[in-house]
Amino acid sequence: MPTRRDLLKTGLYSSAALLHLTGVRFDTWALDGGKNVPPNPKATPFQVALPIPAAKTPVSPDTLPGVPRFSDGIPTDYFSVNVQQALAQILSGKQTLIWGYDGVTPGPTFPARLGRRIVVRQTNRLPSNINVHHHGGHTQSLSDGSALPELEIPPGQFRDYIYDNDDDVGATHWYHDHTLDVTGHNVFMGLAGFYFLGSTTVDALNLPGGPVDANVPGGPFDVPLVLQDRTFDANNQLVYNPFDHDGFIGNTFLINGAVQPKFRVGNRKYRFRVLNGSNARFYQISLSSGRSFQIIGSDDGLLKAPIEDTSFRIGPAERVEIVVDFSFYVPGPNTHVFLNNTMVQTEGRGPDGVDPTQPFPLMRFDVAATIPDNSTVPAVLETGLPIFNRADVSARRSFEFVRSDGAWQVNNKFFDPSRIDATVKLNATEIWTLKNGGGGWFHPVHIHRNGFFILDRNGSPVSGHESGLKDVFVLAGGDQVHVITKFTGAKQLGKYVFHCHNIEHEDMRMMGLFKVVA
């Protein structure tokens, strides 16, 4: 069977081919390229309480025949997940068929800890292959979930993923499907969830939702928010257009799987871990009150110090952590603050720009209670961030992300899982140049395995959450960034990928493969 890119290029993307690649038959409008978009049900906003993904509970390894056992003294927790179809009440009326980890979307949150290994058995009960990527993790090659055919889980089978959690610092990671050619469809159907990597360093900061709030009623005060856009047909079913080469843009906004939810808060501080889980959409996030908040974290950990701001942009797969202080508002039945998106985006190429005069409310905070607050946001946050020295750089690499031959390439090559595009020596410090070849498309580039610091963007220093440790780098047309890292970790040898996280670009082969060797 040809790849998705070959099928699209030749015009032979039939319903039979779609069924083979995804296990799902698409409706007529998707097969004709979106010419007959179905009517979208209108949802009434702020009717549903914000869902909070449940923490995943460990199981005994005795319940998992053949699971890896360890005698190295490192504490290890075991988890079991069934990846399956289910029905979810997203819109009023008919339920929506989704694909979910344990049958829910977002999937359960993994409560991991630095220095404590976890093993996750992922069992595929879907009609097509899957592949689970631990996004942000310093993960062994065979457990990373890179989009390689040999790592896919066929229907009815399972894979045991080993996560050593030997990263430099605690962070907000996530996990999602990463199956070659069909990641966009599988994530759109619901295959995504949070992975919180905790640490004693972060615990000691007394941030909202930390140990200081353990016995304070009225929580949670540490709240994950995954932003997504989806399209539904007249029967409330998800509709995905595989022909949208630019990137799929939905017309209904969800947070944690609910359409424009509401969240009851007290007049105190809250920590929000914001993840852009959309396939191709960018957001510009602000509060309707215009008040500032504190940006405290980026993709791969907390910042060195908090940054006060009133707005931030977040591209696909990026994470931004903020603390919002609701003590400025008087609690009451009519005290509402909205989490707004002011980014205008009409197509998958990328955002059109920010328009503060047209805010779209993604969710509503109802400031309705007085709740004690002993949490703090200290002037110094993460002290354990890695240091990458320019003087130690042993290699420089350059990767240009371009559109060519009707699809997407890196350095004028389509992804080939049998070709190694870069060989990296263990413990080497490298600078990578990431460049957008232009044409008006945005490319949020994600590099597996490592966290990087951005040295400069178009020759200038970066600010805001881009100053933190990151694994996603947004490239507007013509942009160029230099990023630096050190490839530590003797357990993390082998093959990894880097790619555009506009997922349709990734599926159309805008991806490269690197190998870390001793």
Give residue-wise pLDDT tens across range 156-181.
999 999 999 999 999 999 999 999 99
DSSP string covering 48-117? SBPP-PPBPPPB-GGGSTT-----SS--EEEEEEEEEEEEE--SSSS-EEEEEETTBSSEEEEEEETTBE
**Strand 171-177 relative to strand 258-259: parallel, antiparallel, unpaired?**
unpaired
* Number of neighbouring beta carbons within 10 Å of residue 325: 18
Please list, residue by residue across 112-123, b when 16 or more beta carbons sit within 10 angstroms of its beta carbon and e when fewer do. bbbebbbbbbbb
pLDDT for position 5: 46
Cα–Cα distance for residue pair 66/160, rounded to 1 Å = 9
Cα–Cα distance for residue pair 45/444, rounded to 1 Å = 30
Give residue-wise pLDDT tens across range 460-495.
999 999 999 999 999 999 999 999 999 999 999 999
pLDDT at 153 over 50: yes
**Strand 494-500 relative to strand 311-314: parallel, antiparallel, unpaired?**
unpaired
- Which residue, 439, 509, 401, is CA-closest to 6? 509
Q: How confident is the model at residue 6 (pLDDT cuts 50, 70, 90)?
A: low
- Which residue, 254, 199, 264, 266, is CA-closest to 228? 254
Q: Which two tokens stand for residue 369?
A: 């209670």
Query: What residues contact residue 460 under an 8 Å CB cut-off, 6+ apart?
Result: none
- Read off the amino acid at residue 159: R
Q: Which two tokens stand for residue 455?
A: 């040295």
Instruction: For 18, list phi and psi in degrees, rounded to 5.
Output: -60, -40
Q: How confident is the model at residue 34 (pLDDT cuts 50, 70, 90)?
A: very low
pLDDT for position 181: 93
Structural domains of the chain sorted by starting position, each given as residue range(s) with its CATH number in brackets:
46-87+97-199 (2.60.40.420), 211-369 (2.60.40.420), 390-517 (2.60.40.420)
**CB contact at 8 A, 280 and 348:** yes
Cα–Cα distance for residue pair 255/104, rounded to 1 Å = 14
- Read off the amino acid at residue 233: D
Task: Label residue 410 exposed, middle or buried (CB < 10 Å: 0-12, 13-18, 19+).
Answer: buried
| pTM: predicted TM-score of the whole model, two decimal places | 0.94
Given phi > 0 = left and psi -120 to 50 = alpha, else beta, which region is 494?
left
Give residue-wise pLDDT tens across range 180-201.
999 999 999 999 999 999 999 9
